[in-house]
Amino acid sequence: MAWANELDSFAATTYRKNYPHVRLLEKPVEDLSVIHDGLQPVDIITAGFPCQPFSVAGSQKGFEDPRGKVFFEIVRLLKEFGPRRPKVVVLENVPGLLSHGKGATFSKMVNSLQSAGYWFMPPACHAILNTMKLTGIPQSRDRLFMIALSWDYFDEFAFEFPAPNGIEPLQVRDFLDLDARAEESLYFDPESRWGKLFEESMRDGNPEGVYQLRRYYVRENKSDAVFTLTANMGEGGHNVPTIKDDWGIRKLSPEECARLQGFEPDGFVFPAEISKTQRYRQVGNAVTVPLVRLLARECRRILN
């Protein structure tokens, strides 16, 4: 990796802890400049942009939301590289982006990337990839991945997205720390409103299943997987996967959630100063590591 950009100071702290050798520019992407920041030309550029403007669960304002305009800043940077622009562009967002504005939003993106000199032609240029089907990690997570290839380097669109290969999903509990009592703050008070609600739901459902606290109710994931891990997991305990262990009913820890995104315990750490709230947020904002590793392998193939 030559360089990276991150606006969130907490995420930047975690990034520097794990990738101290990478140049990290901690600033809004709007202020990022190929020339003024001396950005080294690269073969592949990867980028995610805020999903809330396009998500069914978000604002749905699209490019009218300032966060939705981050996409155009990515295109601006591609153009700033001129003839040395990246050969491959990998973008990630929520599946709802495709249908937002009855397809008008995605059409603008297609036109923008093509005007920057890239092969980007639906439907070959994008795919909705599922974490569980492609990696076996038991998380119900669908994400939209988009690939653009430079006209200067490729004669055609040559990228092939990975396809499900019948891999057997692993068990959620294989990713959890169940041999000892977890941190006390993760447990629900059995006499509290939520503790009683979870107890009732687990009594009627699978006691070894995964549950989730919504705003006013508890739901069970009957597919032996965790629900999609989202950035708002740390906001009041809602949306954090919840289980029953030998000591009580508790939320999964941020570290357990990170494993369910494919982060290896011996290859990734949270800095001690990062709060649980921020750790949950960072996990929810991340991509599933083994899944993007499949994309990286295909990028290497077409570049070679």
Residue tagged active-site, from 51, 125, 257, 299: 51
Q: What's the CA dihedral at 266, 271, 274, 278 to 10 degrees?
A: -40
3-166+286-303, superfamily in CATH? Vaccinia Virus protein VP39 (3.40.50.150)
Same fold yes or no, 3-166+286-303 and 172-283: no
The full set of domain ranges for the chain reads: 3-166+286-303, 172-283
- pTM over 0.85? The answer is yes
> Peptide bond preceding 254: is omega within 30 degrees of 0, i.e. cis?
no
Q: Please tell me the predicted confidence (pLDDT) of residue 61.
A: 58
Q: Is 51 a catalytic residue?
A: yes
For 80-121, list the strands marked E by DSSP.
Answer: 88-93, 118-119
> From CA 235, how far away is CA 134, in angstroms rounded?
29
One digit per residue, the tens of pLDDT, for the chain of length 304 reads 999 999 999 999 999 999 999 999 999 999 999 999 999 999 999 999 875 666 555 555 556 666 668 899 999 999 999 999 999 999 999 999 999 889 989 999 999 999 999 999 999 999 999 999 999 999 999 999 999 999 999 999 999 999 998 899 999 999 999 999 999 999 999 999 999 999 999 999 998 999 998 878 899 998 889 999 999 887 766 789 999 999 999 999 999 999 999 999 889 999 999 999 999 999 999 999 999 999 999 999 999 9
The domain 172-283: what is its CATH number?
A: 3.90.120
H-run or E-run covering 15: helix 9-18
> From CA 294, how far away is CA 301, in angstroms rounded?
11
